[in-house]
Amino acid sequence: MKPPATLVALLHGPDQPGIVAKTAGWIFARHGNILHADQHRDMEAGEFFQRIEWVPAGADAAQEAADLHTFAATLGMAARVAVSPHRAKGVIFVSKEDHCFHDLALRWKAGEFAGDFACVISNHPDLGDVARHYGLAFHHVPVTLATKAAAEAQQLDILRATGTEFVVLARYMQVLSEDFLKKAGQPVINIHHSFLPAFAGGKPYHQAHERGVKLIGATAHYVTAVLDDGPIIQQDVVRVTHRHSVEDLVRKGRDLEKLVLAQALRWHLDNRVLVYGNKTVVFD
């Protein structure tokens, strides 16, 4: 038997008494059934955040979502609402490093994500056969300093043609321009191979080794126009010692990168991440 459609709302706005009761009451008055509810208050900012998932009583989930937006506005809250049967479609950007790409593709084939990949875009041709083996269309779009604007225009055309709603940078070793991000108009999730804000930019494992750190990490974050500075979704670390070489750090880091990126994408597709300013609230 097909499970009923559910709605997931992410709300945030100035804190005030009775928000939880009002949102629950609104759903109850419409004969909906709440499945999960979680909330958080930023004590310093006085900001309230809520994630609530429910089964609407009516058959028209889209109308229920529209009505929720109207209701949230009366509370001074911004809202984003997702309908459970919808599977967001995204694209993977990758260069030559393939560990995150393989991990994402295998998890997708195993049904771990509440979304799908439409295609792969790469600035190198190396992973074309592998991508097609996974059943993913592959687009080779070379990028040089002289051709960057034209390459990004071609990438945007692919995004529009495939109807994507998110982008994952699986060790894509190119910096996306501010113009690309604005025109794409969709979340871009990147995996950076360090525990940001430490060691931003290129060769972070080399930087970490030179600094003699005892922990290395990986960070999944939303991409902004400022390099490696977007809202952080997930991070993890592993311990290292003076005995580990740069190659050891790279090897250990690859395992972290795969896990951190997969978890961040899973949370994003499950509508558990609420961005405000340059921070995130990630609901359980």
Is 101 a residue whose pLDDT tops 90?
yes
Torsion, Cα 104 105 111 114, to 10 degrees, reads 60
13-27, 110-124, 191-205: segment of lowest average pLDDT = 191-205
Q: Which of helix, strand or coil describes residue 164?
A: coil
Measure the CA–CA gap between 223 and 246, rounded to whole angstroms: 26
Q: In this prediction, what percent of the chain has a pLDDT beyond 90?
A: 87
Is 75 a residue whose pLDDT tops 80?
yes
Measure the CA–CA gap between 280 and 189, rounded to whole angstroms: 13
Cα four-point dihedral sign 144, 147, 149, 155: negative
Render pLDDT for 146-167 as a digit per residue (tens, 0 to 9).
999 999 999 999 999 999 999 9
Provide the whole-model pTM. Answer: 0.94
CA distances to 87, 152, 176 from 145, rounded to whole Å, are 35, 11, 12
Average pLDDT over residues 32-48: 94
pLDDT at 61: 85
User: Hey, which residues are catalytic here?
Assistant: 228
pLDDT at 1: 59
pLDDT at 2: 65
Average pLDDT over residues 57-82: 91
Which residue ranges form the domains of the chain, and what is each CATH number?
A: 7-83 (3.30.70.260), 88-282 (3.40.50.170)
CA distances to 66, 69, 123, 142 from 128, rounded to whole Å, are 41, 42, 11, 13
Measure the CA–CA gap between 131 and 108, rounded to whole angstroms: 12
Which of 84, 75, 88, 78 minimizes the C-alpha distance to 10? 78
Q: Which long-range contacts (CB under 8 A, 24 or more apart) does 18-26 make?
A: 19/48, 19/50, 19/75, 19/77, 20/50, 22/75, 23/50, 23/52, 23/71, 23/75, 24/52, 26/68, 26/71
